[in-house]
């Protein structure tokens, strides 16, 4: 189709070149005197981009062919391919006619009926126009006393594309903020749907995503893709006015985030959801006396929230050394449940159980013997906490725990 369009415009150009050559030839046949020979009519030229997008402001410049001087007050029109075909007959008439004024008038009448008037050139020979519909057009420039100019232009509908901003990794239960913007501008996109697909379902979706790159029918691709993610994915929500949606994943794993909105190319981004257990923290005095009731508070590290039902033990210096190996293992192990079980068994055997924390995360205990102790707090789903405490007789001191 494009080849045919180029052939049409080439034919039109050839016709007008013949018309410009006919003028002096006809004049020579009518008059032998050089003084009475009419001057050759000047010709216009159009400079415009070969291709532009719908809604993009196109600058069209009209100059005098040969000199390159800007031509003011030239009218510029755009004809669709179909109307350019109809204009061909009028252009045929230029071959026989030497009356440039009448040809100009007939041609202007024709383009006014069939074409879109884009405007009149300013002092720099320019006119600007934003096309509202995609398609192939023939630009035509006219001005009395000039042979017209034309040039094809292709207006394409390039859909906008979405982009996703989200963390690369998040924890199970953590509220993740996903932001959808327009690629290129960075503007927030409201009412975009966001889904998450598991790795397995993301693989199944791969064929549909590949098809988007080759297809120009965005609407049908969008519909098929939305149907597919609705079947295979987890719907996370619709973006608000700031382009954001929030979601807390319930299961660990790798996911593919997909954002869709009509009129936009979709966006996707991977995210890994991991099981990161929370950690405990112990608050207790550094030193206390034998028989003094010590208050030990267990909280969640980071938030400072009180943790209820955490078990608290105290280990002597000797037993704390034996426990050191188990504590080291926690740092390398991702299997928190098995570490928790082994550690609880170890402190139950080697330690003194002080009690379970109440709703305020507190437990109280009065030590009966002076010593250096390691306080250990445990609760399923949390990394344990430990802290040394020095229990002293009022009239004695103990060496510190290394």
CATH of the domain at 383: 2.60.40.10
Between CA 145 and CA 38 the distance in angstroms is 12
- Mark which of 242, 274, 306 sits at the end of a domain: 274
Report the pLDDT value the prediction gives residue 93, as an integer from 0 to 100.
Answer: 61
State how beta strands 382-383 and 169-171 pair. unpaired
- Mark which of 87, 121, 156 sits at the end of a domain: 156
One domain for residues 14 and 145 = yes
Nearest to 194 by CA among 229, 161, 218: 229
Contacts of 349 (CB under 8 A, 6+ apart): none
Report the pLDDT value the prediction gives residue 143, as an integer from 0 to 100.
Answer: 92
Cα Dmax for the chain: 139
Between CA 389 and CA 370 the distance in angstroms is 10
One domain for residues 94 and 166 = no
Report the pLDDT value the prediction gives residue 333, as an integer from 0 to 100.
Answer: 56
Report the pLDDT value the prediction gives residue 383, as an integer from 0 to 100.
Answer: 85
Report the pLDDT value the prediction gives residue 269, as an integer from 0 to 100.
Answer: 95
Report the pLDDT value the prediction gives residue 101, as an integer from 0 to 100.
Answer: 66
Q: What domain range includes position 369?
A: 278-392
The CA angle 395-314-390, to the nearest 5 degrees, is: 25
One domain for residues 270 and 319 = no
Quote the pTM value: 0.51
One domain for residues 130 and 164 = no
Given a cut of 50, the residues of the chain with pLDDT beneath it are 1-11, 13-39, 216, 334, 397-402
Sequential DSSP letters for 167-226: -SEEETT-EEEEEEEETTT--B-TT-EEEEEEHHHHHHHHHHHHHHHH---HHHHHHHHH
Between CA 80 and CA 396 the distance in angstroms is 102
One domain for residues 318 and 304 = yes
Q: How confident is the prediction for the chain on average, in pLDDT?
A: 82
Nearest to 125 by CA among 78, 79, 77, 69: 69
Cβ neighbourhood burial of 172 (10 Å; 0-12, 13-18, 19+): middle
Q: What's the structural domain count of the chain?
A: 3
One domain for residues 193 and 256 = yes
Report the pLDDT value the prediction gives residue 326, as an integer from 0 to 100.
Answer: 66
Domain assignment of residue 399, yes or no: no
One domain for residues 246 and 297 = no
Beta bridge partners, 356, equal: 311
Q: Are 274 and 172 in contact (CB under 8 A)?
A: yes
Report the pLDDT value the prediction gives residue 211, as an integer from 0 to 100.
Answer: 62
Report the pLDDT value the prediction gives residue 96, as an integer from 0 to 100.
Answer: 58
| Strands in 199-325 per DSSP E | 234-238, 244-248, 253-260, 264-265, 267-274, 278-283, 287-289, 293-300, 311-316
One domain for residues 360 and 310 = yes
Give rounded-to-5 percent helix, strand, coil for the chain: 30, 40, 30
Contacts of 321 (CB under 8 A, 6+ apart): none
- Mark which of 156, 176, 201 sits at the end of a domain: 156
Domain assignment of residue 288, yes or no: yes
Report the pLDDT value the prediction gives residue 158, as an integer from 0 to 100.
Answer: 76
| Dihedral in degrees, nearest 10, Cα atoms 183, 185, 191, 194 | 30
């Amino acid at each position: 189709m494009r080849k045919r369009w180029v052939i049409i415009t080439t034919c039109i150009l050839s016709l007008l070149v013949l018309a410009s050559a006919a003028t002096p030839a006809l004049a020579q046949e009518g008059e032998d005197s050089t003084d009475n020979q009419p001057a050759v009519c000047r010709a216009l030229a159009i400079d415009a981009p070969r291709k532009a997008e719908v809604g993009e402001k196109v600058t069209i410049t009209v100059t005098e062919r040969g000199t390159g001087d800007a031509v003011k007050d030239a009218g510029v029109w755009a004809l669709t391919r179909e109307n350019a075909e109809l204009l061909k007959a009028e252009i045929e008439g230029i071959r026989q006619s030497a009356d440039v004024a009448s040809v100009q008038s007939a041609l202007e009448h024709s383009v006014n009926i069939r074409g879109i008037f884009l405007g009149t050139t300013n002092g720099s020979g320019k006119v600007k126009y934003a096309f509202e519909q995609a398609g192939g057009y023939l630009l035509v420039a006219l001005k009395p006393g000039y042979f017209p100019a034309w040039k094809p232009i292709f207006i394409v509908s390039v859909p906008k594309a979405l982009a996703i901003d989200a963390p690369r990794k998040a924890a199970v239960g953590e509220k993740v903020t996903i932001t959808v913007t327009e690629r290129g501008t960075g503007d927030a996109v409201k009412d975009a749907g966001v889904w998450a697909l598991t790795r397995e379902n993301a693989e199944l979706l791969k064929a549909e995503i590949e098809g988007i790159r080759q297809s120009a029918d965005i609407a049908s691709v969008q519909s098929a893709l939305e149907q597919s993610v609705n079947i295979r994915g987890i719907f996370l929500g619709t973006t608000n006015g700031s382009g954001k949606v929030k979601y807390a994943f319930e299961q660990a794993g790798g996911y593919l985030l997909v954002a869709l909105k009509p009129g936009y190319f979709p966006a996707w981004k991977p995210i890994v959801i991991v099981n990161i257990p929370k950690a405990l923290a112990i608050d207790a005095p550094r030193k206390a006396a034998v028989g003094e009731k010590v208050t030990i508070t267990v909280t969640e590290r980071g938030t400072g929230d009180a943790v209820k039902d955490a078990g608290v033990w105290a280990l002597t210096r000797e037993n704390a050394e034996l426990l050191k190996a188990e504590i080291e293992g926690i740092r390398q192990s991702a299997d928190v449940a098995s570490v928790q079980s082994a550690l609880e068994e170890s402190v139950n055997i080697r330690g003194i159980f002080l009690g379970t924390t109440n709703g305020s995360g507190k437990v109280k205990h009065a030590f009966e013997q002076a010593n250096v102790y390691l306080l250990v707090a445990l609760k399923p789903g949390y990394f344990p906490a430990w802290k040394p405490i020095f229990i002293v007789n009022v009239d004695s001191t103990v060496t510190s725990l290394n």
